[in-house]
Chains A and B, each alone.
Chain A
Amino acid sequence: MKTGALPQAWMAPAMGEDLRALVGLPASSASAREHWKYTRIEKITALLNGPDNAPPTVFEGASQPGVTVVQDTDPDDHELTLLSTRTAYCPATAKALLNTRCIDRMVIGQSLAQPLVILRSDARRPLLITVRTGVSARIHDLSSSDTGWLIVEQEPNSQLDFTRLHTPSAATRWHQLQLILNRHASLTMQHYCTGAAFSRLDVFVALVGTGSSVDARGCWMANSKDHLDQQWHVEHHAPHTSSSQVQHGIADGRAVTTYRGRIFIGVDCPAVDASLMNRNLTLSPTAVCNTKPELEINTDDVRCSHGATIGQLSEESIFYFLSRGVDREHARKMLAAGFINQCLRGDLADTARFELLGTSSE
């Protein structure tokens, strides 16, 4: 399998003495501490202490021509490298890796008419998907499982439309996504996550090939006492790469949401274009939104922007609804749906609207 070189920067220090020792890494860094500032690692690692025989990934659409699936297999050297790349930031990953007895592997060898749908996952059994050179594919991750570990490697000139939906759950959840883009590969990504009692998502996008690009849009909505922590890392390791992120979060009740968005630009990566915007809406005085956009730039001649806002619903906007006969509660819901609608598109926006309002779009 021909791939770009994996970035050394991925091998950063881990948290926790035992896990650092397990992956053989030096002492913890400020970045790693930030990674676990709002979520206790123990909650995540406890998820991965189940029996070793993790159930296989369940798909829909895997019988299409051009799709090859091999389940319950040993990873080869390259795949082992992929599996270990993020263990530094994610001790939970390291724990899962150490418990891993097998992986599920999928290769998409030709452009697909139908999307591939992931219905069940387990982080103790990572799923590695390779999108072959020049192939276009859609993947919908609808897994309602408590854990998941998905690695997608896009070969040169491939195009992937990736959608991820997480519906409400009372469980503790941890999911990790690693997306690696080789030369001129492009990724469009949409993500919608509704409340979970305790949910942590780690997303790593590595643009390792010249001319690769990612457009990521994500929304989340937390209620009650939900804890929702999202860590997004977009790393540019090649010149002429571009990334665009728009992330909108809503917190109601006593929910706590955290978003950390880190853009990293490696050395010798000129003409990179990267942007990140995180907007948050609090619907109650007891809700908490933490946000931390970060830039780490190691090359001149790049264009980068990042920003974050936390706000409340405008009373002027609510009154506009009232003046047309719409009650305050419904006005709040419509404004929240509008906030999401500014970010998401298509079916995912409709799903969010339906959850909020019980109606579909026009």
Chain B
Amino acid sequence: MSLLEVRDLYANAGDKPILKGLSLTIGAGQVHAIMGPNGSGKSTLAYVLAGKPGYTVTSGEVLFDGKDLLAMEAQKRACAGLFLAFQYPVEIPGVSNMEFLRTAAEARARALDAEPPSAVDLIRRLRAISNELGMNPDFLKRGVNEGFSGGEKKRNEILQMSFLEPRLAVLDETDSGLDIDALRIVGEGVTRYLKAHPDSSVLLITHYQRLLDHIVPDVVHVLANGSIVESGDRTLALKLEAQGYAWLDAG
């Protein structure tokens, strides 16, 4: 059974129709990349999947692990194993990263009727993940994304992903704002996560092929004007990098 199945999805951002009949199937353990020109609907797809207010589905359906994703509230989607790495992570002053993640872990444990992690386990895991991502463990005491550089914010998103262990991670332009070294560290972090969680899947939204050097996709899709217009293996990304999107219009 596929992990995510999007069927003929139409959705608006505010009053504006953005997604126009988008269909997409992601199997367990797969990495899919979505590329496309500005305004094609990539981020809208991410927000619709995550349940962001202001984004309305007008028709179509989305099944996540066989369940109706669109019927779930945003926090229940997260508890069910969907994770969105934001393109522009918000700053939350006064709430430490440690407290934020502890609260998220507790909420997920409650939803799954499981034991929340102990304080010792939580700190141990977070320190290990932050080391792998080259982050100073002191950041755990700082406010969520407060005063972080663009690269630090993106690394923090990957840290959260690794800690919360989602079934499906949607990475919305995680490569934007990263320098070469940070891009490699983030790419290795995602790859490491996928190796440790072979049933988890990733939906990568990106403009550039360079991230795909570090996170090798099984399928690459091209999103244009609200729907998938082309799919292929990673050579499709190389073709887009070389030729842009104009050839798609030419048919």
A330 touching B103, Cβ below 8 Å: yes
- Cβ-neighbour of B90 out of A317, A337, A340, A341 (below 8 A): A317
Q: Chain B residues with Cβ under 8 A from A327's Cβ?
A: 75, 107
Q: A323-B50, A323-B84, A324-B78 are in contact. List 5 more A-B contacts (CB 8 A).
A: A317-B90, A319-B53, A334-B103, A341-B94, A362-B96
In the assembled complex, which residues on chain A have CB atoms less than 8 Å from the CB atom of B201?
none
| Complex interface: chain A residues within 8 A of B92 (CB) | 317, 320, 335, 338
Q: Known contacts A319-B53, A323-B78, A324-B78; is A330 also within 8 Å of B95 by CB?
A: no
Whether A342 lies near B75 (C-beta < 8 A) is no
Query: Which residues of B (123-142) have their CB < 8 Å from a CB of A?
Result: 141
B53 CB to closest chain A CB, in angstroms? 6
Known contacts A319-B74, A342-B93; is-contact A324 B104 (Cβ 8 Å): yes
CA–CA, A297 and B83, complex, Å: 54
Bound: A362/B126 CA distance, A: 14
B79 touches A322 (CB 8 A): no
Complexed CA–CA distance, A325 and B163 (Å): 13
Contact of A322 among B75, B94, B111 (CB under 8 A): B75
Partner of B93, one of A320, A321, A322, A338: A338
Instruction: Note all chain A residues with C-beta closer than 8 A to B83.
Output: 323
> What are the residues of chain B within 8 A of A335 when measuring CB–CB?
92, 95
Any chain A CB within 8 A of the CB of B20?
Answer: no
A338 lies within 8 A of B143 (CB): yes
- Chain A residue numbers with a CB within 8 Å of B99 are 334, 361-362
Distance between Cα atoms of A148 and B211 in the complex (Å): 64
Q: Cβ of B89 and Cβ of A320 under 8 Å apart?
A: yes
Chain A residues in 8 Å Cβ range of B103: 321, 324, 326, 330, 334
Verify A322–B51 contact, CB threshold 8 A: yes
Cβ contacts B92-129/A at 8 Å (1 or 0 each): 11111011111110011001000000000000000000
Q: Are B90 and A326 in contact (CB under 8 A)?
A: no
Given contacts A335-B95, A341-B95, contact A325 B90 (CB under 8 A): no
- Asked if A326 and B75 sit within 8 Å, CB to CB, the answer is yes
Give A340's nearest chain B residue, CB to CB.
Answer: B94
Q: Are A324 and B160 in contact (CB under 8 A)?
A: yes
- Beyond A315-B53, A323-B74, A326-B104, is A338–B94 a contact (Cβ under 8 Å)? yes
Task: Give the chain B neighbours of A316 by CB distance below 8 A.
Answer: 90
The chain A residues found within 8 Å of chain B, CB to CB, are 314-317, 319-328, 330, 334-335, 337-342, 361-362
Chain A residues within an 8 Å CB radius of B216: none
Is the CB–CB distance between A319 and B52 below 8 Å? yes
Residue of A315, A320, A325, A330 most packed against chain B (CB within 10 A): A325
Docked CA distance A322–B53 (Å): 11
21 residue pairs of the A-B complex, CB under 8 angstroms, read A317-B90, A319-B74, A320-B90, A320-B144, A321-B100, A322-B51, A323-B52, A323-B83, A323-B84, A324-B100, A324-B103, A325-B108, A326-B107, A327-B75, A330-B107, A334-B95, A334-B103, A335-B95, A338-B143, A362-B98, A362-B99
Say yes or no: B111 contacts A337, CB within 8 Å.
Answer: no
Residues of chain A contacted by B107 (CB below 8 angstroms)? 324-327, 330
B24 within 8 A of A: no
Interface set of B (CB-CB < 8 Å, partner A): 50-53, 73-75, 78-79, 83-84, 86, 89-90, 92-96, 98-104, 107-108, 111, 141, 143-144, 160, 164
Contacting residues, chain A, for B160 (C-beta < 8 A) = 324
* Chain A residue at smallest Cβ distance from B95: A338
Minimum C-beta distance from A49 to chain B (A): 42
* A342 cross-chain contacts in B, Cβ below 8 A: 93-94
Residues of A near B51 (CB, < 8 A) are 322-323
Q: How far is the CB of A323 from chain B (nearest CB, A)?
A: 5
Chain A residue nearest in CB terms to B96? A362
User: What chain A residues lie within 8 Å of B100 (beta carbons)?
Assistant: 321, 324, 334
Determine the chain B residues whose CB is within 8 A of the CB of A340 once the complex forms. 94
* A221 CB to nearest chain B CB (Å): 14
Chain B residues with Cβ below 8 Å from A361 are 99
CB distance from B139 to the nearest CB of A (A): 13
**Contact residues in A for B53 (Cβ distance below 8 Å):** 315, 319
Q: Give 8 nearest A-B pairs by CB, closest first.
A: A338-B94, A341-B94, A325-B78, A338-B95, A324-B104, A322-B74, A342-B94, A325-B107
Instruction: Please state if A324 and B94 are interface contacts (CB–CB under 8 Å).
Output: no
Residues of A within 8 A of B52 (CB): 319, 323
Chain B residues, CB < 8 A from A362: 96, 98-99, 102, 141
Tell whether, in the assembled complex, residue A337 and residue B78 are in contact, meaning their CB atoms are under 8 Å apart: no
Residues of A contacting B101 in the complex (Cβ-Cβ under 8 angstroms):
324
- Give Cα A314–Cα B89 distance, bound, in whole angstroms: 13
A130 to nearest B CB, angstroms? 37
Chain B contacts for A325, CB-based, 8 A: 75, 78-79, 104, 107-108, 111, 164
Q: Which residue of B lies closest to A338 (CB)?
A: B94
Given contacts A323-B50, A338-B95, A338-B143, contact A328 B75 (CB under 8 A): yes
Interface core residue of B89, B98, B104, B160 (most chain A CB under 10 Å): B104
Min CB gap A329→B, angstroms? 10
Complex Cα–Cα for A322 and B92 (A): 13
**Which B residues lie within 8 Å of A337 (CB)?**
94-95
* Minimal beta-carbon separation of B103 from chain A (angstroms): 6
Q: Is there an interface contact between B78 and A314, defined as CB atoms closer than 8 Å?
A: no
Q: Which chain B residue lies CB-closest to A342?
A: B94
CA of A315 to CA of B90, assembled, Å: 11
A146 CB to nearest B CB, Å = 32
With a cutoff of 8 Å between Cβ atoms, the chain A residues found around residue B78 in the complex are 322-325
